[in-house]
Structure 1
Amino acid sequence: MSHKIIRRPHVDDSHLPSSLPPLLKQLYARRGVGQDDCELVLAKLLRPDTMKGLDIAAKIVADAMQNQHQILIVGDFDADGATSTSVCLLALKMMGATRVDYLIPNRFDYGYGLSPEIVAVAHSKQAQLLITVDNGISSIDGVNAAKACGMQVVVTDHHLPGHILPNADAIVNPNQPDCQFASKSIAGVGVAFYLMTAIRAELRQRNWYELQGIEQPNLAVLLDIVALGTVADVVSLDPNNRILVQAGLQRVRAGRCRPGITALLEVAKRDPSKIVAADFGFAVGPRLNAAGRLDEMALGVETLLCDDIMRARRMAAELDGLNQDRRDIEAGMQQEALKSLQTIALDEATLPWGLALFQPDWHQGVIGILASRIKDRYHRPVIAFADAGNGEIKGSARSIKGLHMRDVLERINTMHPGMIIKFGGHAMAAGLSLKAGALDTFKQVYDDVVRDILDYEQLTGELMSDGELVAANMTLDTAFMLRNAGPWGQSFEEPLFDGFFNVVQQRIVGEKHLKLLLETECGQLMLDGIAFNVDMQTWPDATIKQARVVYKLDVNEFRGNQTVQLMVEHIEPM
C-alpha cells in the first residue's frame, strides 16, 4: 500500500518548561501537551466526582457488602474485560468483601455483554448484585431480565450508548448523556478503577475498615493491571489515560507488579525493568486476549488474580500456546482473505471502498485481528465475518481515519431496519450480527455508505513524520530520552522521523524482515535498521542504493551492548 508522508508543522512550544530538551519540547507541543500535562503524577488524575452515577454505584456496592449480598462481576472476553474484572475482584476483596465472584461469557456460547442467557447463569449462582465491566451499556434485555429476577444491576462501561439506556440501578459510563467527566476515551478498566476508589471512600465514611478490623487498602497496587487494560484496548492516550498508564509502567519497572503480568512478560521475552507501553500492546495484551479469542477468558483473569509466581508461569505458558495457535489460525485466514481479494485487488478502481469479507470456516475469535490486518494492507475500512450458527454471521469491523464505524452501522440500520440483528462499538472498531442471507445486500449498502462519507484521497494511508533528525540527534541519549518520554500510544503517537539514506547493506532475516546498514546522506553516520514484514517482491534488491526511510529511533540491545537502531516503518527506493 502506498503511503503519503506528511511532516508535522513546527508549532509554538514556548508554554512548555525550558528544562525540557528542545527536540522533546517540540514533539510534545505538536501532540497538544499543555503546561500541566508534562508531569504525569496521580495527584493530577481527573476528580471522580465529575463521573456521573459513580456516587450512586458506590453506595449500592457498599450496601451489598454490608448486607453480605452475593456480588457477581460480569466481564467482557477481551483484555480490557479481563483486566476490569481482575481490578474489581481484587479491590473488593482488599476492602473486605467476602461474597464476590466473577463471570465472563464464553463468546461462542453467549455472545457479547449481559445477555438474558448470562443473567440466567448469574441467577443460578444466587447473585444479588451484578456489576458489569467493559459492557452493559447496550444490554437492555439483559438488565431487564436481571431486574425481573430481583437482582440489582450496576453498569460500568465506556462504549458509546444507543438511544435507549438500560434500566440499571446505576450507570457509570463517561460517554452517557450529561456526564461531565472529561476523559471520554477512558478504557473499561479505568472506569472500573474509578468505581473502586469511590467504593473505598464510601466505606471509609461508614467506618467500615475499623468495624472489620482491616487496613484501608492502597488501590494504587492495581495500577499495573489498569495500565495493561488501557493500552491493550487501544484507547486514546489523553492526559488522564497517560497518567494511569505511566503509574502502572512505573510499578512494573520497579518490580512491584502482579505475578501474572511478570509471567506474561517473561514468556514474551520482555525485561520488566525496561518495559514501555508498546510491550503491553504488542506482547502482553495479545497473549491475554488469546484466551478469550480461542477458549475461555477465565484463564486470563486467573493469571492476573494469581499470587503465586510458579502457578502464574504455568498459566502464562498456556496463554502463550493459545496465542501461537491464534497466530497460526489468523495467518491461514489472512492468506484466504488476500486470495479472495486478489481477483479484484489487481485493479485499484474496482476494489470496494468498504471491504466486507466472509468465509464459512473462519474462526469467530480471530476475525477482529484479521479485519485489522486487511485494513492495514489496503487502508480501507474492513468487516470480517464468521459463521455464528443459527443462520447468523458475526462481523468484526475496523475503520480508518475519517470514518466513524459505529455511526456507519447506525446509518445502515436506519436505512434498512432489521437487516442488522445487533451492533455496537466505537469510531475505530465495532461488532455486528447479520442474517447470513443478508450478506450480499449488506456488502453493497456498506460500500455505498463508505463512498458517501469518504473522499478518494482518504484511502491513501498517511504517515505523520516529525521531520528529519539531524545526525547529532541520532544518539543513544536521544533514543533513551524518547523511550522515557512516553507513554506513547493511540492518539499520542510515538515520534516518527524521515530522511534520505544510502543503502550500504541489505539482507533478509527471519524469513521476511529486512536488515539494513544505512548511511546518512552526507555520509556522517552509519546506522543499523530493521524493517519488519517487507514486500518480498521489492526487497532485497542490490540495485537499490538510496531510499527514503520513515523510522523510529530505538535502542538495540545485543549481548550486553547497546547501539542505536532505526525501526523502519516505511521504506521507498529512490
Structure 2
Amino acid sequence: MATPRIVRRPGVEPGGAWPDAIPPLLRRIYAARGAHSPDLARPRLSGLLPPDALHGLDAATALLHEAISADRHILVVGDFDCDGATACATGVRGLRMLGARRVSHAVPNRMVHGYGLSPALVAELAALQPDLLLTVDHGIACHAGIEAARARGWQVVVTDHHLPGPRLPAADAIVNPNLPGDAFPSKALAGVGVVFYLLLALRRRMREAGAFAAGEPDLTTLLDLVAVGTVADLVPLDANNRALVAAGLRRLRLGQGCAGLRALVQACGRDASRLTASDIGFAIGPRLNAAGRLEDMALGIECLLTDEPQRAMELAGILEQINAERRAVQQDMTDAAEAALSRARLEEGEAPLAPCLFDPEWHPGVVGLVASKIKERLHRPVLAFAPAEPGSATLRGSARSIPGFHIRDALAAVDSAHPGLVERFGGHAMAAGLTLALDRLPAFEQAWLAHARAVLDDTLLQAELLSDGELLPQEFDRFHAEALRDGGPWGQGFPEPLFDGHFEVLDWRPVGERHLRLGLRHPSRREPLAAIHFGGWRGNPPAPYLHLAYRLQPDDYRGGAAVQLVVEHAAPA
C-alpha cells in the first residue's frame, strides 16, 4: 500500500467581486484551482465555447444535412463504455430532433467484435443497409473497419476525442478536438461532448438553410446525457466541461432527465434533488458501464433511449443486477492480482515498478477496474490483461497511470522500439487499452518494464494528497458542507475540496468488514465530530491522535444540522 504525503495547496487570495451567496471558504477553494472570478468558478452555458474552431465540422454537418434531407439511413455506432453509450443516445436523440426519420444505432459487443468499428462489426451491420455511419467516442483508430464500411459504399463520419495515431483513418469526415492543428480551445471534451458540439453545428447549418420554419429544437435537453458521459469518462473538467456538466446536473436535479437516467438515479438510491458529479462517477456511471463490461451495452443504450418510465425501470433493474455481478467478479480478480503481487514481493523484495498482470481466468471487461484498483494501492502504473474470450490466444489489456507518466505515450514508445509487438493500442494520459498476442506477453512485459525504469523516478512514485488546508472552527457546519457539495461540479482537473488537520479520537467502532466509524474532537472545537473512514478498518484500533485528510459533507442520514468527515487518509499524529 502506497503511503501518500499530504501536501497543502498554496494559499491564493480570490480577489475580485463575489456574490455574498458564495462564502469565503468556497472562494478560496475556487482560486486555488485557478478560478479567480465567479464566471470561471461557475461557468454557464452562455459562456460555452462556440463550435466554429472544431476542425471537420463543415464536412461532417454537410454530409449529415444531406442525409437528413434525402431521408437516408443514418446508423450511429456507439462504444461499450458510459461515454460511448451516452454519446450514442445523444446522437440518436439529437438527429431525430433535427428531423432525421431513419436513424438507428448499433454497438459492438466486447466479447464478439472487439473495440470500435471493426471489420467484424461492419459485416454484421450490412443487414441494416445503412447509408451513413456516425461513430461516437471511437473511430480515430478504426482504420480497417472504416475501410470495410466505405468499401460497401457507406459514408463514414467519425466523432472521437481519443488521441490519434500517426495516420488518420480514411473517413469522409473526422471531428476530434485532439487532431493535430485543431484550433478548438478545449481538448478535454468527452466523446459525448464532441457529438453534442456536432449537433449544435448541424442545427446552425440547418437553421441557415431555413429548415426550422415550425420551430427550432432545444438541444440543451440532451445535457443530462452529456453530463453523465463527461463525468464518467474522467476527462478534465475545464470551464467548458463544467458548464456542460453543471447544466446537465440541473436538469437531473429538477427531474427533467431522460427516463433512463431518472430510473438509474432511483435504482442506485440517490436523491435526485441533491445529485452531484460524484454520484454520477460512483453510482450511475458504473451501472451503465457494467452492461458493456459483462453483458452487452445495447442494454444500457436502450435504457437511455426509451421514453417509457416502466421500461426504463425494468432496464435499470437489470443494470443493477449486472453491476452487482461486476462487483463480485472485480473483487475476485483484484484478490488474485494482490496475491500475485505478494508473491512477486517475496521473490523480488518489492512490488514491480510498473506491474503487468495476467490471469487466464480473468474477464476482459473488468481488467481496467483491476488495473485502477492496484494503481490506487501502489501508486504505480499498472497493466492488466485477460484473454479476449475464454481460451483465446489474443489478450486484451487495460492500463492505468499516475500523474507524470503518460500511459498512451508510454505504449507508443514501446511500440516504436519494438514494431509489431503490440497489435493495437490507444487512449489518454491516465488510461489506455491495448491488444496483444498471448505468446508476446513475456517480451512485452520486458520491454514495458525497461521503458518504465527509464522514465519513472522516486518523485513520480511518491503519492501525494493535495489538501486545501485546515477548516476554521466555525466552518464545520451544515452551511459550509452544503456549499462545498453544491459548489461543483467537482471532478478530474477540478478536484473536490479536501482538507487536513489533527484530531483526538474519542471513540471508534468497525462498520461491516472494512470500514471505521470515528468520534473525533478538533483542538479548537468543544463539540465532537462524526467521521467515517471507508476501507479504514484493518483489525487494529486507531491511534489516539490522528492526522486526517478528509472531506466535509452533510450527514443526510442523521439529518438536521448534522455533518460528517469522510476520511481519505489517516496517520498517527
Q: TM-score range by the shorter chain?
A: over 0.9
Q: For residue 485 of structure 1, report the CA deviation from its aligned partner.
A: 1.0
Q: Which secondary structure state, in structure 2, belongs to the residue aligned with residue 350 of structure 1?
A: coil
C-alpha contact (below 8 Å) 1:531/1:568 kept by paired residues? yes
Q: Which residue of 2 aligns with 1:139?
A: 142
Secondary structure of the structure 2 residue equivalent to 1:364: coil
Amino acid in structure 2 at the alignment position of 1:557: D
Secondary structure (helix, strand or coil) at the match of 2:372 reads helix
1:38 corresponds, among 36, 41, 53, to 41
Which residue of the partner structure matches residue 409 of structure 2? 407
Report what 1:530 is aligned to. Answer: 532
* Aligned with residue 449 of structure 1, among 444, 448, 451: 451
Tell me if structure 1 keeps the 8 A contact 2:515–2:537: no
Alpha-carbon distance in structure 1 between the residues aligned to 2:137 and 2:382: 23
Larger mean CA deviation between 360-369 and 516-525 belongs to 516-525
Q: Which residue is equivalent to 2:321?
A: 321
Where 1:236 maps in the other structure, the secondary structure is coil
Q: More deviation in 130-139 or 380-389?
A: 380-389
Per-residue deviation, 1:345: 3.2
Letter in 2 for 1:422: R
Find the partner of 1:68 among 71, 86, 101. Answer: 71
The range that moved more, 455-464 or 293-302, is 455-464
Q: For structure 1, which segment, 171-180 or 384-393, has the greater mean C-alpha deviation from structure 2 after superposition?
A: 384-393
* TM-score when normalising by structure 2: 0.97
1:382-461 equivalences under 5 Å are 382-389=382-389, 390-461=392-463
Aligned to 2:59: 56
Q: Partner amino acid for 2:230?
A: T
> Equivalences for 1:194-273 in 2 at 5 Å?
194-210=197-213, 214-273=214-273
Structure 1 residue 349: Cα displacement: 5.5
Q: CA deviation at 1:468?
A: 1.0
Cα distance in 1, alignment partners of residues 129 and 421 from structure 2: 37
| Percent of residue pairs bearing the same amino acid type | 47
How far, CA to CA, are the matches of 2:561 and 2:266 in structure 1?
A: 21
Residue 572 of structure 2 aligns with an amino acid whose one-letter code is: P
The CA deviation at 1:250 is 0.5
Work out whether residues 14 and 36 of structure 2, in 8 Å CA contact, stay in contact via their aligned partners in 1. no
Shift of 1:72: 0.4
Q: Classify the secondary structure of the residue corresponding to 2:224.
A: helix
2:524 and 2:260 mapped to 1: Cα distance?
49
Deviations 1:133-161, CA, capped at 9 Å, x for gaps: 00000111111111111111100000000
Shift of 1:221: 0.7
Q: What pairs up with 1:3-42 in 2 under 5 angstroms?
A: 3-15=4-16, 17=18, 19=20, 20-35=22-37, 36-42=39-45
Q: Which residue number in structure 1 is paired with residue 123 of structure 2?
A: 120
Query: Which residue matches 2:342?
Result: 342
Distance change (3 Å), C-alpha of 1:418 and 1:38: same
Tell me, what secondary structure is at the counterpart of 2:556? strand
Structure 1: how far apart are the matches of 2:290 and 2:514?
24
1:514/1:540 contact within 8 Å kept: no
**Which whole-Å CA distance do the structure 1 matches of 2:59 and 2:439 have between them?**
45
The residue number in structure 2 matching 1:548 is: 547
Shift of 1:29: 1.1
- 1:2 alignment partner in structure 2: 3
Q: CA deviation at 1:524?
A: 2.6
Q: What is the match of residue 104 of structure 2? A: 101
Query: Once the 2 structures are TM-superposed, how far is the Cα of residue 460 of structure 1 from its aligned partner?
Result: 2.2
**Which residue in the other structure is 1:563 paired with?**
562
Q: Using the alignment, how far apart are the partners of 2:118 and 2:407 within structure 1?
A: 23
Using the alignment, how far apart are the partners of 2:51 and 2:527 within structure 1?
51
The alpha-carbon distance between structure 1 residues 34 and 145, as it changes in their structure 2 partners (threshold 3 A), is farther
Residue in 1 that maps onto 2:482: 480
Mapped partners of 1:452, 1:493: distance in 2: 30
Q: Equivalent residue of 1:280, what SS?
A: helix
Counterpart-to-counterpart distance in 2, 1:30 and 1:347: 44
Q: Aligned AA for 2:41?
A: C
Deviation of the 1:18 alpha carbon:
6.6
Matches within 5 A, 1:113-192: 113-192=116-195
Q: Do 2:163 and 2:179's aligned partners in 1 also have CA atoms closer than 8 Å?
A: yes
CA 1:428/1:519 → structure 2, altered by over 3 Å: closer, same or farther? Answer: same
Alpha-carbon distance in 2 for matches of 1:231, 1:511 = 30
Residue 424 to residue 315, structure 1, CA distance change in 2 (3 Å): same
SS at match of 1:568: strand
CA contact (8 A) 1:380 1:459 kept: yes
Distance in 1 (alpha carbons) for counterparts of 2:350 and 2:512: 35
Instruction: Encode CA deviations 1:410-430: one digit per residue, 9 max, x unaligned.
Output: 000011111101101111000
Partner of 2:340, secondary structure, is helix
The residue type paired with residue 102 of structure 1 is H
Partner secondary structure for residue 393 of structure 1 = strand
Residue pair 2:473, 2:524 contacting (<8 A) in 1 also: no
Q: Is the 8 A contact 1:516 1:528 kept in 2?
A: yes
CA contact (8 A) 2:477 2:561 kept: no
Structure 1 range deviating more: 348-357 or 315-324 = 348-357
CA separation of 1:349 and 1:241: change in aligned 2, threshold 3 A: farther
Do the aligned partners of 1:73 and 1:89 also contact (CA within 8 Å) in 2? yes
**CA distance in structure 2 between the aligned counterparts of 1:510 and 1:58, rounded to whole angstroms:** 54
The corresponding residue for 1:355 is 355
CA pair 187-525 structure 1, distance change in 2 beyond 3 A? same
**C-alpha deviation, 1:208, in angstroms:** 2.3
The answer to whether the 8 Å contact 1:471/1:525 transfers is no
When structure 1 is superposed on structure 2, of 388-397 and 285-294 the one drifting more is 388-397
| Cα distance between partner residues in 2 of 1:170 and 1:494 | 38
2:438 corresponds to which letter in structure 1?
A
SS of 2:296's equivalent in the other structure is coil
Cα separation, 2, equivalents of 1:11 and 1:345? 43
| Separation in 1, partners of 2:454, 2:464 | 21
Residue pair 1:508, 1:540 contacting (<8 A) in 2 also: no
Amino acid at match of 1:48: P
Letter in 1 for 2:189: I
Could you tell me which amino acid in structure 2 is paired with residue 395 of structure 1?
G
SS at match of 1:498: strand
What is the CA–CA distance in structure 2 between the aligned matches of 1:242 and 1:16, rounded to whole Å? 21
Moved more, 290-299 or 336-345: 336-345
Residue 209 of structure 1: SS of its match in structure 2?
Answer: coil
The alpha-carbon distance between structure 1 residues 314 and 206, as it changes in their structure 2 partners (threshold 3 A), is same
Q: Tell me, in whole angstroms, the C-alpha distance in 2 between the residues paired with 1:29 and 1:280.
A: 25
Using the size of structure 1 for normalisation, the TM-score is 0.97
Q: 1:560 to 1:566 in 2, by over 3 A?
A: closer
1:461-480 matches, within 5 Å, as: 461-480=463-482
Q: What's the CA shift for 1:348?
A: 8.6
1:405 to partner: Cα distance: 0.4
SS at match of 2:566: strand
Q: Which residue of 2 aligns with 1:573?
A: 572
Please give the alpha-carbon distance, in whole angstroms, between the structure 2 residues aligned to 1:303 and 1:310: 11
The counterpart of 1:492, out of the listed 478, 485, 494, is 494
Structure 1 residues 310-340: Cα deviation after superposition (integer angstroms, max 9, x where no partner): 1111110000000000000000111111111
Q: Which residue of 2 aligns with 1:369?
A: 369
- Of 305-314 and 279-288, deviating more is 305-314
Provide Cα deviations, 1:216-242, integer angstroms capped at 9, x if missing partner. 211111101100000010110000000
In structure 2, give the amino acid aligned to 1:435: A
- Once residues 23 and 307 of structure 2 are traced to their aligned partners in structure 1, the CA distance between those partners, rounded to angstroms, is 42
Instruction: Please report how far the alpha carbon of residue 119 of structure 1 lies from its aligned counterpart in structure 2 after TM superposition.
Output: 1.7
Please report how far the alpha carbon of residue 561 of structure 1 lies from its aligned counterpart in structure 2 after TM superposition. Answer: 3.3
SS in 2 for 1:177: coil
Q: Which amino acid aligns with 1:445?
A: A
Structure 2 partner of 1:290: 290
